[in-house]
């Protein structure tokens, strides 16, 4: 989750230094990338493939777990013969590294893949290149910003979960108020930086005031412990350290269930989803390979992501599960209100 103080610091440094650095990158390179990104002729794919093979390589910075992203990379390389150099970090690490390197004149990265708010921050720092692609019309509308400098490739659906050995079917909470039962005192894990989750889930309550009042009451009565990281929460649920957790990734719950872990998703209202996507760096030295990889992820890569239990955004390639109710965290609004919701979250739970 993007740290608001980090983003504010980046913005100040960009205002002081960024213009000179971006101009120093060279107009010829920027024009070349823009031309490749804007081309929409009937031979678009043929030109991308030919150009990508000439470029011969690609560097990807990603926040996607290595085991999952490697499935997409392997299929891409097998089809086009283009090796991919991978660097993986947290969403904030990806943002920090991309901004620091590019503003410093180092242009290794070609494609940046991370959460929507971090991608929107990269857009604001003038890091990403707008791309015209016919496949965007097939993507879940909330996952395609108007500027088209990045596009969502999947939804990170955030759900509650419970340990099936510690919570009987009769005791499984069915609604938010059930979490106020004293039996769950100190036993409901919460992600320590779930600012955007809190902001979005409160929208499912009749009013903001009622939503905030509920979570304040939950904090006062049952004192849920805070833990860093959605994967950590899922592991703690499966291992029995916590019988219930409120913010785990649905794909990870399904993966662990498939491996025999005693964990199940818990529905207390609409599932909250973060958009995760990818954008092409303006300074890429491999524009054809970068745009081809983005295209592959949004088409053939969607079935690969689905096989890993992700929720793809290309509804033509992989339709949404029947009856799935999702409330998407809006990246632009969340980025603007992040400091406010960080303070609200910390006041409520800490």
Q: What is the pLDDT of residue 24?
A: 37
Q: Which two tokens stand for residue 326?
A: 């999702």
CA–CA distances in Å: residue 325 to residues 167, 223, 310: 24, 29, 15
SS percent in the chain: helix, strand, coil, step 5 = 55, 20, 30
Q: What is the pLDDT of residue 87?
A: 98
CA–CA distances in Å: residue 286 to residues 36, 101, 265, 283: 10, 17, 41, 9
Give the span between the Cα atoms of 236 and 171, in whole angstroms: 19
Q: Report the helix count and the strand count for the chain, using DSSP H and E.
A: 14, 12
Alpha-carbon dihedral of residues 107, 313, 292, 33, nearest 10 degrees?
A: -50
Q: Counting beta carbons within 10 angstroms of the beta carbon of residue 238, is it exposed (0 to 12), middle (13 to 18) or buried (19 or more)? A: buried
* pTM score above 0.85: no
Q: Which two tokens stand for residue 70?
A: 């490697």
**278-324, pLDDT tens digit by residue?**
999 999 999 999 999 999 999 999 999 999 999 999 999 998 777 67
**189-226, pLDDT tens digit by residue?**
999 999 999 999 999 899 999 999 999 999 999 999 99
Residue 155 in this model has a pLDDT that exceeds 50: yes
Helix (H) or strand (E) holding 274: strand 271-281
Report residue 284: phi and psi, to 5°.
Answer: -60, 140
Q: What percent of the chain is predicted at pLDDT more than 70?
A: 91
Which of the pair, 334 or 266, is modelled with greater confidence? 266
Among the ranges given (175-184, 240-249, 330-339), the one the predictor scored with the smallest mean pLDDT: 330-339
**2-38, pLDDT tens digit by residue?**
555 555 555 444 333 333 333 334 333 434 899 999 9
CA–CA distances in Å: residue 283 to residues 52, 103, 117, 147, 316: 16, 10, 21, 17, 31
Residue 344 in this model has a pLDDT that exceeds 60: yes
């Amino acid at each position: 989750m993007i740290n608001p103080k980090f983003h504010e610091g980046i913005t100040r440094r960009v205002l002081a230094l960024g213009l000179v650095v971006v101009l120093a990158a060279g107009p010829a390179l920027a024009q070349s990338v823009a031309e490749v990104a804007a081309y929409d002729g009937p031979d678009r794919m043929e030109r991308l493939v030919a150009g990508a093979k000439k470029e011969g390589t690609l560097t990807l910075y990603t926040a996607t777990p290595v085991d999952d992203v490697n499935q997409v990379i392997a299929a891409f390389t097998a089809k086009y013969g283009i090796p991919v150099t991978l660097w993986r970090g947290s969403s904030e690490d990806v943002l920090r590294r991309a901004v620091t390197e590019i503003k410093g004149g180092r242009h290794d990265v070609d494609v940046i893949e991370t959460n929507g708010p971090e991608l929107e921050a990269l857009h604001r720092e003038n890091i990403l290149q707008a791309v015209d692609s016919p496949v965007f019309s097939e993507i879940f509308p909330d996952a395609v910003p108007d500027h088209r400098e990045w596009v969502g490739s999947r939804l990170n659906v955030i759900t509650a979960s419970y340990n099936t050995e510690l919570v009987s079917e009769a005791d499984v909470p069915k609604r938010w108020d059930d979490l106020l039962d004293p039996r769950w005192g100190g036993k409901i894990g919460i992600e320590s930086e779930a600012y955007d989750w809190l902001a979005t889930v409160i929208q499912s309550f009749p009013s903001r005031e009622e939503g905030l009042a509920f979570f304040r009451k939950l904090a006062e009565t049952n004192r849920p412990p805070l833990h860093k990281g959605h994967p950590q929460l899922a592991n703690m649920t499966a291992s029995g350290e916590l019988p219930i957790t409120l913010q785990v990734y649905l794909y990870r719950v399904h993966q662990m269930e498939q491996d025999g872990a005693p964990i199940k998703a818990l529905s207390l209202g609409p599932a909250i989803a973060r958009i995760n996507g990818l954008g092409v760096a303006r300074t890429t030295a491999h524009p054809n390979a970068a745009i081809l990889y983005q295209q592959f992820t949004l088409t053939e890569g969607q079935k690969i992501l689905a096989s890993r239990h992700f929720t793809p955004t290309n509804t033509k390639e992989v339709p949404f599960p029947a009856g799935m109710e999702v409330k998407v965290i809006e990246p632009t609004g969340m980025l603007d209100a992040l400091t406010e919701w960080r303070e609200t979250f910390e006041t409520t739970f800490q």
